[in-house]
Structure 1
Amino acid sequence: MPLGWGIFGWINKFLFIPVFGFLVKFIPHGIAIIVLTILVRLVMSPIYI
């Protein structure tokens, strides 16, 4: 599966995929996607502001 080019591939491979895998152990896939989206938005909020 292509994970993106450059730095985005590394971020996907070592950050998003493991976090998503961890979340899926405890909650269904759909809710895990929503939780991951909220986590990313919270982490990125200082950059948005």
Structure 2
Amino acid sequence: MARIDYLKEQVARAERLAKTILDQETVERLQTFAAECRAELMVLTLRPAA
């Protein structure tokens, strides 16, 4: 459960930063990172409990 919480925090933080930063390359990297975290969240939340 800790990993899921961590990923949710990272998504929120990256999206928040992307809204305030003016450098387009950094914004794109933050958005890519947020998408990667969301993808990992999907895998973790859909995985059956072991």
Same fold (TM over 0.5): no
Which structure has more relative contact order (CA 8 Å, sep 6+)? It is: 2
Greater C-alpha Rg: 2
- Tell me the TM-score normalized by structure 1: 0.44
